[in-house]
Amino acid sequence: MTKKQKKMVGRILAAAVLTVALHFVPAEGLWRFLLYLIPYGIIGYDILRNAWKGIRNHQVFDENFLMAVATLGALALGLLKTGDYTETVAVMLFYQVGELFQSYAVGKSRRNISELMDIRPDYANLETDGKTEQTDPDEVPVGSIIVVKPGEKIPIDGVVEEGNASLNTSALTGESLPRDVGPGAEVSSGCVNMNGVLRIRTTREFGESTASRVLDLVENATSRKSRSENFISRFARVYTPAVVFGALALAVLPPAVRGLFLGQDPAWSDWIYRALTFLVISCPCALVISIPLSFFAGIGGAGAAGVLIKGSNYLEALSRTGTVVFDKTGTLTQGSFEVTAIHAREMSGEKMLEYAALAEGASSHPIAGSILRAYGRDPDMSRVTEIREIGGHGIRARVDGKEVAAGNGRLMETVGVAWKDCHHPGTIVHLAAEGSYAGHIVISDTVKPEAKAAMEALKKAGVRRTVMLTGDRQAVADTVAEELGIGEVRAELLPGDKVDQVEKLLAEKKPGEQVAFVGDGINDAPVLARADIGIAMGALGSDAAIEAADVVLMDDNPLKIAKAIRIARKCMRIVYENIVFAIGIKVICLILGALGIANMWLAIFADVGVMILAVLNAVRALFVKNL
């Protein structure tokens, strides 16, 4: 409990004890009124102060103003007519109990998120001249050596220079399976060293490291408001002044009509009391507190599960996902290509692999990496000139002065070489030298073990349509899609074609549905940006993924996609439950108050009770472990 909360508990207890004690004080009239002002002032002075600040800042209509007017009016009624002030002090007392409970619940949810996302390091062990000293991570320059001991968090992204250890990545990925690292391995800040001592050379400043970026995403997520939150904000701006003027009309019009037109007793005090009760009932606390809290808890719970959602607007859109579009390589497959066959024609297989390795030597594409691994040694790039990488086609270069082309069938057609298809499953890299077809290399990728279960989980989560987009051959794409149970396949696409395909899917979607695109976040930035929801996978430490996507999965497990959708849908169910519950109870109690059936005790339940129940319901969005 915070100091502020402890202070509030003290005020509540003091006001409650004084109110009970005043029952036994034989004071009447003005003296009784003055005595009751003491517990009223103890428990309500901050409400009165905030109401006055709102008036001075021209922001009159909020819950502080409503409570201040209602309770001061009730005190005035007690002084002029009833002589009873207990109910007034009790209303303010219970309102503050509700505020205390709300403060505790919100603080608890924030602490839970902070504990689950406890990745901000407190210090870094900076090595200088063979000695280490603790320093602020902000002060560690790029290229420095830091030492991370067992049990410590890695404070800054870097590369292991020395040592072996197992890292707990659960704070970032939501998974408990440790990751083993050794010299040359890239490590991300926020992971916990479970054993061993690591010497790490930093590759980023602290502010640009993974831990800082993840925390910034979570902390700034509430700045992107959902439609539901914007609706509640607009509703409160219209609703609060409306009920104030409604209460004023309730206090003036009925007694005026009774006295002037019907010749009856106006009963001014009864109608004023009804109007004051009406004001207490009308406080929109439950809505304005519980709805943002629901989104905050949902985003925090998702973050703890390794799913970063950049704003409540994206959380709301994710809950309405009807179509999920997948990039194949690195998303549904491992992305680790291996050469599985070499079919040579006019030169030996060894020579063909050598030419392909030299041509692909400067490329960062995964296929180039697999060819270089199969080649088994560093290519002599001094033998290579005039390298041209053609997007969606392959590589053209001069190797030992010969014109060499390595790529797909489209590249062979571009250079005017007749090529042969291959019945082997996998990606085919054709090779031509000096205008003659030399043969082809078969490179295969493997499907992720969780991918099939991920497709089944999406269907159970209510996703209507799954689509796979790939630049790979149609035969390979069909094989993968059939194995995983994906409904539609679009293959042999150039990078720009994927955007066009997503445009078509957006045009075909049902009203109210959203189209999500899932990619690796590095080569798919345009498609991630164009889809209703961009989801980046395998994004631990990936700047491109964090920047381009709306939702970031901090590991490469496709099962997390269905989990993210279920989290979003649970959060939206809670939001709608709170909206219907809070507005429904308010309307009923407002009608009862206007008819004189509800007194201030019912009014305080309608305000504080509904708020407490709504806040408790909102906090449920934090618990997503078993979804």
558: amino acid identity, one letter: P
Extended strands (E) in 29-181 = 124-128, 131-135, 145-148, 158-162, 165-168, 179-181
Region of residue 287 (phi > 0: left; psi between -120 and 50: alpha; otherwise: beta): alpha
Strand partners of residue 404: 397, 433
Torsion 51-52-53-55 (CA) sign: positive
Q: What is the CA radius of gyration of the chain?
A: 33
CA distance 62 to 444: 64
CB-CB contact of 54 with 65 (8 Å):
yes
What whole-number distance in Å separates Cα of residue 31 and Cα of residue 103? Answer: 35
Cα of first residue to Cα of last residue in the chain, in angstroms, is 30
C-alpha distances in Å from residue 506, one per residue of 196, 283, 438, 515: 50, 42, 43, 6
Angstrom distance (rounded) from CA 307 to CA 330? 18
CA distance 132 to 123: 12
Strand partners, 388: 396
Q: Are the C-beta atoms of residues 124 and 108 closer than 8 Å to each other?
A: no
179 φ, ψ to 5°? -120, 125
The Cα–Cα gap between 76 and 86 comes to: 13
Q: Is 42 helix (H, G, I), strand (E, B) or coil?
A: helix
- 341: tokens are 């066959």
Residue 327 a catalytic site member: yes
* Pairing assessment for the beta strands 198-202 and 145-148 based on DSSP bridges: antiparallel
Task: State whether the Cα torsion 69-74-79-80 is positive or negative.
Answer: positive
Q: Which residues are CB-contacts of 392 (< 8 A; sequence separation ≥ 6)?
A: 410, 471, 493, 494, 495
Q: At what angle do helices 29-56 and 3-22 cross, to 10 degrees?
A: 150
Q: Any residues with CB less than 8 A from the CB of 468 and at least 6 apart, and which?
A: 325, 326, 327, 328, 332, 477, 480, 481, 486, 488, 489, 490
Whether residue 25 contacts residue 74, with contact meaning beta carbons closer than 8 Å, is answered with no
- Report the SS3 class of residue 172: helix
Residue keyed to tokens 């599985």: 340
Question: Which one of 157, 327, 524, 556 is the catalytic residue?
Answer: 327
Give catalytic residues, as residue numbers.
327
